[in-house]
Amino acid sequence: MFGRKTLEKKRVPTPAIEEGPYYKPNSPERQVIAEPGVYGSKLIVEGRVLDVYGKSIAHAWMDFWQADGKGQYDNADFKLRGHQFTDKNGRYYLETVRPVGYENRAPHIHAKVRATENSPILTTQLFFAGDIKNATDLIYDELAVMYARKFKDGEKVTFDFVAPTE
């Protein structure tokens, strides 16, 4: 007899995309990574962390880092870097600035997600729908696209991560 999970439609996992050269471990725990004076327009990123069956994952660890509105990374400190944990409903909220692409890279936000202490870490990058540089970015993946919508102070995107649990 089949279990309930084998009959449910599985979600496509968020694609693993290379970490890149700018990751720094031990980022501060925070939801607002855009400190005063960081160049760029306001961006809110929110969503959930789910398993492949669509179940929300509470207390999933997430680490974000990115370039600023000029395409620059802060490698001396932790500007535009931070980690957090999802709430009891698997939701996260990140307040930052919209990154700008640089060299041959489309604008993107890096993320690491770990569903549980025993699961593997998903490392990925999130891209903005419709950006002209997506077509020439060699690691762009359409399964990691965020759709922005304007609000009074900037933009908001929603992205649900589908993270490995085993």
134 within 8 A of 141, measured Cβ to Cβ: no
Distance CA 45, CA 97 (A): 10
Mean pLDDT of 62-69: 98
Over 90: is that where the pLDDT of 128 sits? yes
H, E, C per residue of the chain: CCCHHHHCCCCCCCCCCCCCCCCCCCCCECCECCCCCCCCCEEEEEEEEECCCCCECCCCEEEEEECCCCCCCCCCCCCCEEEEECCCCCEEEEEEECCCCECCECCEEEEEEECCCCCCEEEEEEEECCCHHHHHCCCCCHHHEEEEEEECCEEEEECCEECCCC
Distance CA 126, CA 151 (A): 20
Calculate the average pLDDT of the chain: 94
Distance CA 109, CA 91 (A): 18
Distance CA 34, CA 40 (A): 9
Q: pLDDT by residue (tens digit) across 69-114?
A: 999 999 999 999 999 999 999 999 999 999 999 999 999 999 999 9
Over 50: is that where the pLDDT of 32 sits? yes
Over 90: is that where the pLDDT of 166 sits? no
Over 90: is that where the pLDDT of 8 sits? no
Over 90: is that where the pLDDT of 4 sits? no
Over 60: is that where the pLDDT of 159 sits? yes
pLDDT of residue 16: 97
pTM metric for this prediction: 0.93
In CATH, what class is 4-162?
mainly beta
pLDDT of residue 152: 85
Distance CA 19, CA 90 (A): 23
Q: pLDDT by residue (tens digit) across 47-63?
A: 999 999 999 999 999 99
Q: pLDDT by residue (tens digit) across 134-149?
A: 999 999 999 999 999 9
Distance CA 93, CA 95 (A): 7
pLDDT of residue 2: 47
pLDDT of residue 1: 43
